[in-house]
Amino acid sequence: MDLTARVAMVTGGSSGIGRAVCLRLAQAGARVVIGYRGNRDGADTTAQAIRDKGWPEPATVRVDVTDAEDTQRVFGHVVRANGKLDILVNNAGVGQPSAVVPMNPVGEWAASVETNLLGTLHCIKASSLHMLVARSGSIVNISSIAGRVGIPGLSSYCASKAGIEGMTRALSREFAPYDVRVNAVAPGYTADTGMVDRIDDKRLREFLDRIAMKRLADAHEVANAVAFLASDEASYITGHTLVVDGGLTA
């Protein structure tokens, strides 16, 4: 996959899957803009890892994807600084427990939807005009197997990720006339991510037993799927969600 001279914006690039995506896109030749909200040190670590490899010089930007105005401002700056935006990877997300019980406030449940679903929408709105005018671009949204199967206690996270997949399908049809592709990647349980870190050992063993390949994903395996969909190798793929779960949902 050759992404030479492409400009890629990756939200949530400070750690985990986001960091792996930044590294993979840079390895393929893209100039990566690493978006972060609170973890500046993590974003700087991602940027330094790219520099250490001698790949195209990265940049870091703070962006709060829940704030539409801030997102619009930051993306405008990115486009002005680079002259274009070829790739958007919507990876920023949260996954806090959100059981639906009478005592829990709705605001607590809605937090995942605000960041994961509305945050993705804000980023697409902020970047799509530039892509639509250029009649070129690739948007890859990070979903989850939680958008396809029910996980007790994570209903808001499941709802937000299912919403991302529905929005991906709809926007792929809206943007196709302008040669802008919209796809998603749905990772399963991935090592060294917050999703796995919050699971106790007993439950993790139960999950591993259900995974056909009997192991967790590595973040670079998810990043490979993202890079593929972002590249010209996937030029006839749009509106698709690529599941990377080792056969868990097969």
Q: Give me the DSSP letters along 94-134.
A: --------TTS-HHHHHHHIIIIIIHHHHHHHHHHHHHHHH
Contact indicator for 185, 130 with CB cutoff of 8 Å: no
Q: 3-class DSSP state for residue 15?
A: coil
Contact indicator for 145, 196 with CB cutoff of 8 Å: no
- What DSSP element (H or E) covers 40? helix 40-52
Residue from 157, 178, 189, 236 carrying the catalytic annotation = 157
Residue identified by tokens 């709809």 is: 170
Q: What is the DSSP letter of 146?
A: G
How many angstroms separate the CA atoms of 126 and 140, rounded? 14
Catalytic annotation on 157? yes
Residue identified by tokens 């990566």 is: 32
How many angstroms separate the CA atoms of 147 and 26, rounded? 28
Residues tagged active-site: 157
